[in-house]
Structure 1
Amino acid sequence: MKAAVLHGPRDLRLETVPTPRLPSVGEVILRVEYAAVCGTDVHAYRGSIPTKTPVILGHEYAGRVLQVGKGVRGFKAGDRVVGSYVATCGTCRYCVLGKPQLCERRILFGLNYDGAFAQYMKVPRADRTLVKVPDDMDLRTAVLIPDMFLTALYAVERGGVGPGSSVLVIGLGSVGLSIVAAARLAGARKIIGVVRRARPRPIEFAKRMGVTHLINTGEEKDPIGGIRALTGGLGVDVAFEASGAPSAVRLALDSLRPCGVHVQVGIVGEPSPLDLRYLTSLEKTLIGVLNPGSTIYIERAIDVVRAHGLDLEGLVTHEFPLSDIGEALEAVERKVGDPVKVVVKTT
């Protein structure tokens, strides 16, 4: 089969590798139909996060079950499925506590285990990793839910957004835009989007998803003042930082009202010194979130998308064949073609 294999920083090769066969106990073989490109894939490609190479990149996937190993109870050949980015043990302290994303024996697709930028994929611990896709949902939409949308839904939940909340979202990429949508569903009254550059497509999508006010830090001389002016001089209730830029982390904290909550979603790729004085004197809260990764959460996210008719597929601006995986990563990394969400058709 064809697969995109990462051999080291910026050394990604489209290779012919053995097709997975004969699944072991608890495993499933998938024929991957769609894989989405995530910022984490770019970090792995750059070498800025720990990655066990050589490894097939990719952790956002949707496809059909091809073969089922012994002990798998929930799936059969032909089932349409999506899956988590992480396969968990189910028995360690964090799995028992309901935090499977922190599993002590976690398998991370595309980082320490072969992932989804391939024609076929072996999924271990399948009953704790895969979820069936409803008949009325296409796989191109479904592939966006377990990672992109669930990250947003969980972040909004952790931030405590509710009816009447004022919200700041820094970084209007696919996850940031999903946070906007989830915050709107949670009842946020005011949603302020922050961008560094006025890229037309994300701004258009931001308004469509529910942003009520937009601040461009590349043009606004006093963004903090602008945010406070929109919130009666107080600051926002909840700030979501989804870009990973160290300067944006500081902006998010400074934009909060007293007792406000900062939710860090973006991966910060370099040390980020913070002035923490106002965490105590103004009782601000700083929370880091990681996609919960559990099948229960994925099922819930699918239900939310269906119940509210969310047009997640509308965020897909680029689709590439697997043979052009390098171009797909470049589009995300360098913003070539003004992308929002990029997917790869693997078959």
Structure 2
Amino acid sequence: MEAAVYHGEGDIRVEEVPDPEIEEPTDAIVRITHTAICGSDLWFYRGQRDYPTPGRVGHEPMGVVEAVGDDVTHLRPGDRVLAPFAISCGECEFCRKGLYTSCVEDEGWGGEHDGAQGEKVRAPYADGTLVRIPERYADDEDVLESLLPLTDVMCTGHHAAVSAGVGAGDTAIVVGDGAVGLCGVLAAQRLGAERIVAMGHHEDRLAIAEEFGATETIAARGEEAVERARELTYGGANHVLECVGAESSMDTAFEVARPGGTVGFVGVPQGVDEAAFLDSAFGKNVALRGGVAPVRQYVDDLLADVLQGTLDPSPIFTKTVDLSGVPEGYEAMDEREAVKVLVKL
């Protein structure tokens, strides 16, 4: 079969790899029909994070179950499924408390394991990881494209909003206009925020933020952006979503938080000097909550909203490629020519 493989900075190739097989009785084999390229994939693509070389890539799988191991009880061949970016057994101490990203099995997609940007994957702990899509929607392309972001970015944006404590009538500031930030806007709107200020650097992305419910947008940079956010919110917001992970975005998030507020952070930290934002947090008694999004905890509720037509994150996909176009997709995201790339097999 064919799959996308990382060979070094800026070098993604689609090449032949062995077909996956059932190795454990808890496994399933899934034929991938839809996946995506994530902003976090750009860290290793740009050489800014270590990654196995060569290494399989992609962590947002959706497809059809082809085979299951003897111990799999909740799935059967032919089921349409999606999977969170983190594999989880569903039974350990942390899975039982909803912290699926801390599962003791500690497995994920890509690297030395099967990556979602390929024709098939072996899904370990299939009962704990795979989420079945109701049969009536199994061939509804519009619904499937709306569900795919639940594998990562929609649930990650939701985790930022939940961690920041967003609720009905609140004012929230979202730092970042990538796919996660845009989904953070959508999540804040879903949770009932009355005002949502989206901060970013790209007018086209901020237009999507407005479509998702942002009441104001800020395209400025640095201190100018901070001052504008404070003006709009009369001194800052009690609920701030940090959706980038860069040092500048962390600093901005704490600068626009009101004293006693909370920053919900989900951006993968990269090159962050914690001293800078901790000083601001300490001085204003601002709380920091968040981390890696436990997608499996949120996915059932968000899936129900998508299926009833009240949630649609699919506009984050601004470019579509097939498997052979995955290298082109990475280039487009690296050059900021696409918010997020949909891969259809």
Contact 1:23–1:68, Cα closer than 8 Å, also in 2: no
Distance 1:163 1:22, change over 3 A: closer
1:206-252, Cα deviation, whole Å (9 max, x unpaired): 1111111111224x8633322222222x3111111212231121111
CA distance in 2, matches of 1:309, 1:262: 26
**Higher deviation after alignment, 30-39 or 6-15:** 6-15
- What are the ranges of 5 or more consecutive residues in structure 2 without an aligned counterpart? none
Contact 1:89–1:106, Cα closer than 8 Å, also in 2: no
Q: CA deviation at 1:120?
A: 1.1
Aligned letter for 1:151? T
Aligned letter for 1:78? G
Alignment partner, residue 202 of structure 1: 205
CA distance in 2, matches of 1:211, 1:200: 13
Please give the residue correspondences for 1:1-347 in structure 2 after superposition, counting only pairs within 5 Å: 1-90=1-90, 92-134=92-134, 135-136=136-137, 138-196=143-201, 199-218=202-221, 222-232=224-234, 234-272=235-273, 273-294=275-296, 296-336=297-337, 339-346=338-345
2:187 aligned counterpart, secondary structure: helix
Aligned letter for 2:283? S
CA distance in 2, matches of 1:289, 1:112: 24
CA distance in 2, matches of 1:314, 1:89: 32
CA distance in 1, matches of 2:22, 2:336: 40
Contact 2:33–2:64, Cα closer than 8 Å, also in 1: yes
**What value does the CA root-mean-square deviation take over the aligned residues?**
2.0
CA distance in 1, matches of 2:111, 2:239: 31
Contact 1:59–1:85, Cα closer than 8 Å, also in 2: yes
CA distance in 1, matches of 2:53, 2:114: 10
The percentage of aligned residue pairs carrying the same residue is 32
Aligned letter for 2:318? T
Contact 2:56–2:112, Cα closer than 8 Å, also in 1: no
CA distance in 1, matches of 2:124, 2:132: 16
| Runs of 4+ with >6 A deviation | none
Distance 1:114 1:55, change over 3 A: farther
Contact 2:238–2:262, Cα closer than 8 Å, also in 1: yes
1:104-152, Cα deviation, whole Å (9 max, x unpaired): 4311102352211111111111001100113235332222112111111
**Higher deviation after alignment, 245-254 or 298-307:** 298-307
Aligned letter for 2:45? Y
CA distance in 2, matches of 1:97, 1:48: 33
TM score, norm. by length of structure 1: 0.91
**Higher deviation after alignment, 65-74 or 266-275:** 266-275
1:274 aligned counterpart, secondary structure: helix
**How many residues end up aligned between the 2 structures?**
339
Distance 1:56 1:275, change over 3 A: closer
Distance 1:70 1:46, change over 3 A: farther
- What are the ranges of 5 or more consecutive residues in structure 1 without an aligned counterpart? none
Q: CA deviation at 1:29?
A: 0.7
Contact 2:163–2:265, Cα closer than 8 Å, also in 1: no
CA distance in 1, matches of 2:225, 2:147: 36
Aligned letter for 1:118? G
Aligned letter for 2:39? G
Distance 1:201 1:308, change over 3 A: same
Contact 1:84–1:129, Cα closer than 8 Å, also in 2: yes
CA distance in 2, matches of 1:298, 1:311: 14
CA distance in 2, matches of 1:148, 1:243: 12
**Higher deviation after alignment, 86-95 or 185-194:** 86-95
1:335 aligned counterpart, secondary structure: coil
TM score, norm. by length of structure 2: 0.91
1:37-80, Cα deviation, whole Å (9 max, x unpaired): 10122223234334334321001011101111110011111110
**Higher deviation after alignment, 138-147 or 275-284:** 275-284
